[in-house]
Structure 1
Amino acid sequence: MPVAFFERFTDLTWVEVLVNILDILLVWYVLYKLITIIKGTKAVQLLKGVFVVVIAWFVTKQLGLTTMYWIMEQVLTWGFLAVIIIFQPELRRALEQIGRGKLFARSSMAEEEERDRLVEAVTKSVGYMAKRRIGALMSIERETGLSEYVETGIPMNSNLTSELLINIFIPNTPLHDGAVIIQQDRIAAAACYLPLSESPFISKELGTRHRAALGLSEVTDAITIVVSEETGAISLTRNGDLHRNLPPEEFETLLRKMWFGPVPEPQAASKRKRGGKKNG
């Protein structure tokens, strides 16, 4: 069997080999794109269920469990129609994107849309709190893990939204003291303790929130946002650098640059026409 299998491939011409490789790569690429389409939807859980049924079918066949094998076979035979019915919204969305020619561009588009959503959520919450002088402290994890600081707070593991961020820092609520830590696109924990900077060069007018933000930036590459309770001023720290008294538009631009890197010129221009100039 192995010899015959090997001889089958040795008889192929180099053109046929390239065609087979291309065929395999295309199948993997299509599967990858289908996974990106259903990612974050209920279809993921349903696919796990289908996977379990397939494994059960194989195991019952190997063990000779006749009745169970017959049941699994019926499930797989008629399951195709059930999958079409259950996955109807996802299939319709995929077909619509194929019709618009956006199936293969969806991954980068979805990633960019998610980045915009995250920056907008943080910017909106910070702007709201700055106007009302609600003190806030938020740290965004990057390459260096912040798990040890997450453990000092109250676990949340919630979707990152501006409404939730604002609600956390409302004065006299259980979670308003301490820092919120953001990991990827989720609020990992609130009321976390951050290390205070012991630098003698910090201005005396800066309070505990700013010292905590600088302290974390000295030991990690995290981005930390501070809203002053006394003045409503917005500050950003990263790698030991403190950017103070940032206007909302400049804060958004700097946050995006720190979080996701420089924005391409055409996109930056299209997103910030209202300002009249591009903030670096």
Structure 2
Amino acid sequence: MHIGFLDIDFIDLFDIVFVAFLLYQIYRLIQGSIANKIFFGYIMIYVVYLVATALGMELLSAILGQFMNVGVLALLIIFQQEIRRFLMMLGRSTSIQENALLKRFYTPKISKENVSTLQAIVEATKVMATTHTGALIVIEKEDDLKKFIESGDEIDSQVSKRLLLTIFHKNSPLHDGAVIIKNGRLAAARCMLPVSESGTISPTLGFRHRAAFGMSEQTDAAIIVVSEEKGEVSFVNHGGIFRNMSVRDLENKLSDYLLS
């Protein structure tokens, strides 16, 4: 196919569409963060470099060329979290449990431990929402949360309603930080989570919600947040949030997560 003086074939069209798709995915990952401005600044410098090279401006091309060589390494360092999230997104798309097509050929096993854990979490969350008790509960899925577990006090106990209520009681020495549930057991309490720096998070949300967002950006864990001020229950997963959830809605979300 000829367009003016250009000779374009199917491979060229596929190349353009694929690059546009990758750029769109990168934009989605960095949207609302400070990395967004850095990325577009780098793109502008790269466009100037291409124009200078095309016009034969050797001095400017040489200067910008050196910057581009160092800039690639700098971008890898600056965007390490975004790159990690992008690779995780690609990995999840090939996972049996995350791929809608493969799910039809995969029947998950529902264990009594998962059902018991779900009921304990839902019942404890209901009470904490009623009493306006702040809480942050992280449930591991495929990504290993070992380093986050090690940041808190290891417990390794069966999950129960009373234990969760005791941990998050305002006078408990373990109520600050998050509880992490691993393999149906309460692995640790008072765990430190990464705080999200995304600019898209509502300013009305507090530290617990930002920590939940940060955890969901770096792992595939499901996080439950109970607001101390409003008693509002939120469910955070894969960088998305469901706010002001009812107990039934939360139970459905946890069922989709734990029992699949």
**What is the CA deviation profile of residues 127-170 of structure 1, one whole-angstrom value per residue up to 9, with x for unaligned ones?**
01000000000100110000000111001011111110110000
C-alpha distance in structure 2 between counterparts of 1:149 and 1:214, whole Å: 15
Is 2:217 the partner of 1:218? yes
Q: Corresponding residue for 1:248?
A: 247
Cα distance, 1:114 vs structure 2: 2.5
C-alpha distance in structure 2 between counterparts of 1:218 and 1:207, whole Å: 17
Q: Corresponding residue for 1:165?
A: 164
- Preserved contact between residue 110 and residue 259 of structure 2 (Cα < 8 Å): no
Larger radius of gyration: 1
1:8-157 residue pairs with structure 2 within 5 A?
A: 111-157=110-156
Residue type of the alignment partner of 1:163? R
Is 2:198 the partner of 1:199? yes
Q: Corresponding residue for 2:237?
A: 238
**What is the CA deviation profile of residues 85-106 of structure 1, one whole-angstrom value per residue up to 9, with x for unaligned ones?**
xxxxxxxxxxxxxxxxxxxxxx
- Preserved contact between residue 223 and residue 259 of structure 1 (Cα < 8 Å): no
Q: Corresponding residue for 2:92?
A: none
Cα distance, 1:238 vs structure 2: 0.8
C-alpha distance in structure 1 between counterparts of 2:237 and 2:145, whole Å: 14
Q: Corresponding residue for 2:31?
A: none
Residue type of the alignment partner of 1:122? I
Q: Corresponding residue for 2:258?
A: 259
- Preserved contact between residue 181 and residue 187 of structure 1 (Cα < 8 Å): yes
**What is the CA deviation profile of residues 255-280 of structure 1, one whole-angstrom value per residue up to 9, with x for unaligned ones?**
1112223xxxxxxxxxxxxxxxxxxx
**What is the CA deviation profile of residues 175-206 of structure 1, one whole-angstrom value per residue up to 9, with x for unaligned ones?**
00000000011111000000000000100000
- Preserved contact between residue 222 and residue 235 of structure 2 (Cα < 8 Å): yes
- Preserved contact between residue 114 and residue 258 of structure 2 (Cα < 8 Å): no
Residue type of the alignment partner of 2:166? N
- Preserved contact between residue 180 and residue 189 of structure 2 (Cα < 8 Å): yes
Q: Which runs of 5+ in 2 are unaligned?
A: 1-106
User: For this pair of structures, how many residues does the alignment match?
Assistant: 153
**Aligned partner of residue 117 in structure 2, secondary structure:** helix
Residue type of the alignment partner of 1:182? I
Flag the structure with higher helix content. Answer: 1
Cα distance, 1:111 vs structure 2: 4.4
Provide TM-score, normalisation by structure 2.
0.57
C-alpha distance in structure 1 between counterparts of 2:139 and 2:133, whole Å: 19
Q: Corresponding residue for 2:187?
A: 188
**Aligned partner of residue 167 in structure 1, secondary structure:** helix
C-alpha distance in structure 2 between counterparts of 1:257 and 1:248, whole Å: 14
Residue type of the alignment partner of 1:205? T
- Preserved contact between residue 153 and residue 188 of structure 2 (Cα < 8 Å): yes
**What is the CA deviation profile of residues 222-242 of structure 1, one whole-angstrom value per residue up to 9, with x for unaligned ones?**
000000000001001111011
C-alpha distance in structure 2 between counterparts of 1:198 and 1:111, whole Å: 36
C-alpha distance in structure 2 between counterparts of 1:144 and 1:202, whole Å: 24
Residue type of the alignment partner of 1:188? A
Q: Corresponding residue for 2:228?
A: 229
More contact order relative to length (CA 8 Å, sep ≥ 6):
2
C-alpha distance in structure 2 between counterparts of 1:113 and 1:150, whole Å: 24
Q: RMSD in angstroms over aligned alpha carbons?
A: 1.4
**Aligned partner of residue 217 in structure 1, secondary structure:** helix
**Aligned partner of residue 257 in structure 1, secondary structure:** helix
Q: Corresponding residue for 1:274?
A: none
**What is the CA deviation profile of residues 105-137 of structure 1, one whole-angstrom value per residue up to 9, with x for unaligned ones?**
xxx9x9443322111000000001000000000
